[in-house]
Structures are given as C-alpha cells and as structure tokens.
Amino acid sequence: MRLALIADIGGTHVRFALWRDGRPQALRVLATGDYPGPEEAIRAYLAELGLLPDALETACLACAGPVQGDRFRLTNNHWQFGRLALTHALGLRQLLVINDFAAMALGMTALADHERLTIRPGQAATGCPRLVLGPGTGLGVSALLPDGAGGWRVLPGEGGHVDLPLGSAREVALWQVMQRELGHVSAESVLSGGGLLRLYRASCVLDGRAPQFDSAAAVSAAALAGEAGAAAVLEQFCCWLGRVAGNHALTLGARGGVYLTGGMLPHFAGFLQGSGFARCFVDKGVMSDYLEDIPVWLATAEQPGLLGAGLALQAWLERSPA
C-alpha cells in the first residue's frame, strides 16, 4: 500500500509525518533553511525513513501563507513551488495544499481536554465561531465556523497582517519607534519571535538603555528570571496579543472561544496567565461586555498543525472521486 504524507511548513521549520490510521506517524522536523524547496526536503525525509518518493500516493502540505492558484510562495522563508509541478516531480496521485493555520484550526477540533490550558475562563457559546491564532515565526490567524451538522468548516485568512492596535500612550510611542523602522507596523511585527525582539529594542530606545539581549528566547528567559526590563517587554507583548485577539473575536463573533497556539506561548504560559492579556482582550469600550464570557485556551498538544493537515487530507480524499 502506498503512503500518505503530511507536512506543516512554517517560516523556520517543516514538520513531516506519514498519515496512518487517523494519526501522524514517523514525525521528523527539518530546518527550511537547509533545503532549496519542499521537493528536496520531502526527499530527505523519505530517505531518512528508508523510502523512495514512489512510496507516496497522496500528500497534504500546510503552508504558511495565502493559498491561491497553482503557485505558492511562503511568507516568511525562501520556499516557493507549483502544485502541479511538485505533484509530477514526486509521482503523486493527489496533492492538497492548504494554509498552515487552516490546518492548525482543524487540529483544534481534535484536542482532548488535557491538551488545552485555560488562559481566560468563560462559557463557550454553542453554535458560534471559534478563533485560532498564534505567534511563531509569523502570526497565524484562522477561524472555525459551525457547519450546522455538528462539525466545523475552516475560514483561513491573513489576519496576522492587520494593523497593530494602540490602546495607551506607551503603545503609541512604541509604535512610532517601530514605524520609523518598518513603515507599516502589523500585528505580526510584534506578535512573533522576531517581533518580540523588535519590541524589546524599541522599548530600549524609549527608555534610553542599551539592549542586553539579542534573541526572543533570551528576552523571554530574562523576563521569567525576573529581569525588570525584559519582564515589562513580555508584559507588553501579552497585552498586545490580548488586544489583537479581542479585535479578531469581535470581527468574527467568536463567542465559541479562542485558541492560542504556536511554538512561543507554551514557554511562558504561566506568565501569560498572570499578564494583562485578559484585561486587554475585553478592553473594547461599549463592546467590552460582548467579550466578557468568551473563554481563551492555550493549546498544549504536540503538533496540532500536522494533525490538522492529516484531517484535511482525509476529508479531501473522502470527497474526491476514486
């Protein structure tokens, strides 16, 4: 029997697995920077398993960026490819390409209760949309819409690139520093790994101090260790995450709840719980009451994007003619 491949392709890493019996198996994580494109990375993954490309029959690639037409270019790395060309190069019968946060959203539908941590308690409204967003190399945003039959449909988008919202004089001043550097300051400009470091440097400029840290990991580690400047930056990061999540929840009507995902947040989950995230999430003036009962969870499951890619592939094959 030929195999099904699933992949979750982000800006920095690609996660590969085989889809068998409704679960990802043979997981491997490769650095996207080590390969010129997905074909070479797929061949390397298969070689590590002792397989040839002709072992594959179908595949689903969940990619960080908008999926439109045959050509695909990832937003935060150098990879680009054509769906038909890649299908032929690998000898596949079928290749499905979806947005990575569409896959992430599908992964949320299969979470067990122990695979999510409550960041903000509330009561999920039955039959209402759910929001999925998370910072990593970029900021992914997607949504789950009830399908009327007890299941969910995914609404992908590029909500990470909305304008960064401003809610205080300090935030205005930080925005001005970053605007001089970037021109357009999107939510992703702050709510991502590179964004946390950018926010730290902008804070140093405002406060007249020399930067001590040169990576997002160093900033968050210092914050958790009690370094005052880094802690203030991480607090601001959490507040901006709350503002952006609240904005999207209002737009979507996401009274079914909000899932936070991505590789960054689990590293400081306790800090996030105690931060101003919840306050900024509901700080919407006359619409604050609308958000008051919406719960927010942090997904702690391993590789939910891969699981979602597998679920997407499975559903697609069930709908496709043999």
Q: pLDDT tens across 209-237, in order?
A: 999 999 999 999 999 999 999 999 999 99
How many CB atoms sit inside 10 A of residue 277's CB? 24
d(CA 109, CA 294): 17
Give the pLDDT band of residue 65 (cuts 50, 70, 90): confident
pLDDT (average), residues 62-70? 84
DSSP state string for 210-224: -----SHHHHHHHHH
Domain with CATH 3.40.367.20 in the chain: 112-300
Annotated binding residues for ATP, written as ranges, equal 7-12
Domain with CATH 3.30.420.40 in the chain: 3-99
Kindly report the CATH class assigned to 3-99: alpha beta
CATH number attached to the domain at 112-300: 3.40.367.20
Burial environment of residue 57 by CB neighbours within 10 A (0 to 12, 13 to 18, 19 or more): middle
pLDDT (average), residues 77-105? 92
Annotated binding residues, written as ranges, equal 7-12
Q: Sort strands 296-299 and 116-120 into parallel, antiparallel or unpaired.
A: antiparallel
- Evaluate if residue 139 carries a pLDDT over 70: yes
8 Å CB contact between 143 and 129: yes
The closest of 36, 148, 131 to 86, measured between CA atoms, is 36
